[in-house]
Amino acid sequence: MFKSTSTKSISEEKKELLNHCTKDTTDKEKTKAVALLSGGLDSHLAVRMMKEQGIEVEAVAIKTPFCDFDCGKGCGHKVLEVASELDIKLKTVYLGKEYLTMLKNPKHGYGSGMNPCIDCRMMMYDEAKKHMEEIGADFIITGEVLHQRPMSQNSNALSIIEKGTQMEGKVLRPLSARLLPLTNPENNGLINRSMLGSIRGRSRKGQLDLADKYGIADPPNSAGGCLLTDPQFSKRVRDLFKFSVPEPSINDVELLKIGRHFRLNSLSKLIVGRNHAENEMIKSLCNDTDYLVQPVTVPGPTSILRLNVHPDLRKHKNLLELSIRITLRYSDTEAEDKYEVSVVNRRQKLLRTISSQPCTKNEVEDYRI
């Protein structure tokens, strides 16, 4: 007669099985991921998909001089709202001067404009990786969709970014995961691959279907893209890098976003406001070494003459005269008449009123960036 050699009772075996199942559940609950959260729909959905699988998620949001989620524009300004809605912790990181240094000479080049997409993503991955290590998370998730962005979201670019940040296998892209190689969390059984997405390209149908599934009311449209992809803005950035001595400041970058820009010579640039809001911003961004130009006798814009050298009215008299005439071109003026304009330079303790005529349209276009 067969006799079992086990000394464990049935009740003990059940207890061990229960403990094993409990341990598996506990381990699952302890699995953590760090999400790169932009405030747009894709990263929102990526977090939802992870939480659906019981993954604990914390988020990192990246601000740069060209993408600021407090600006009230695009998808980025919703990042705090989205984090709150998802009930996840949020860490914000600002990449300032180091981003400008990278932008001047990105290792992997530019896209259609001045957009250094691969190098930019690598900087973001590095920040997410730091937070992952700080909190003991297992992997990173992003809202990237295969072939949605031509430069940074193709298979080769994704591989370059992972290798360059030593994150191979540690980045999960839930929206497109079933179209991409297996990642560590999938191989380790932390993630059920069958519950992940297979979205590709620029169509939003897959995302909108998921938004409906998760009950996301009024999902945002696809973001308009990075400011650095804009052709006109890219011209301003190239001009800034070409003529800045030694490197542009964050203040210089903020000025790029507003006004009309004119390159007067290799040492000077004029920025002319287009409306009241921009005039006020120009005043707030005016440095001590700038010449601030404002019409006195007629309504008109506020302008900044910015020099790469120490201001000297005797040396820069012609530049200042040209700046005044361009400013008057956009004021409520007549071509043949003279108008008074105030000129202020805090470094020189200068406050002067100068009379001049406006430029012609053809003259202005010669200097426009």
Let me know if 166 is exposed, middle or buried by CB neighbors in 10 A (0-12, 13-18, 19+). exposed
Domains along the chain? Answer: 10-213 (3.40.50.620), 258-365 (no CATH)
CB 65 within 8 A of CB 96: yes
Q: For 255-280, what is each residue's pLDDT tens digit?
A: 999 999 999 999 999 999 999 999 99
Task: Give the pLDDT score at 39.
Answer: 86
Q: For 163-187, what is each residue's pLDDT tens digit?
A: 999 999 999 999 999 999 999 999 9
| Residues of the chain above pLDDT 90, percent | 75
Task: Give the pLDDT score at 223.
Answer: 54
Using CA atoms, how far apart are residues 74 and 202, in angstroms rounded to an integer? 17
Using CA atoms, how far apart are residues 54 and 248, in angstroms rounded to an integer? 46
Q: For 238-258, what is each residue's pLDDT tens digit?
A: 999 999 877 899 999 999 999
Token pair of 198 as six digits: 């297979």
**pLDDT, greater one: 280 or 226:** 280
Has residue 2 got a pLDDT over 90? no
If pLDDT is split at 50, 70 and 90, which confidence band does 311 have? confident
Let me know if 287 is exposed, middle or buried by CB neighbors in 10 A (0-12, 13-18, 19+). middle
Task: Give the pLDDT score at 76.
Answer: 54
Give the start-end residues of each E strand in the chain: 32-36, 56-63, 89-94, 139-141, 171-172, 260-265, 268-272, 291-295, 303-307, 339-345, 350-356
* End-to-end Cα, the chain, rounded Å: 97
Let me know if 194 is exposed, middle or buried by CB neighbors in 10 A (0-12, 13-18, 19+). exposed
pTM over 0.95: no
- Amino acid type, 261: H
Q: What is the mean pLDDT of residues 138-156?
A: 91
Q: What is the mean pLDDT of residues 70-91?
A: 77
CB 31 within 8 A of CB 25: no
Token pair of 313 as six digits: 């009215």
Let me know if 175 is exposed, middle or buried by CB neighbors in 10 A (0-12, 13-18, 19+). buried
Query: Residue 339, SS3?
Result: strand
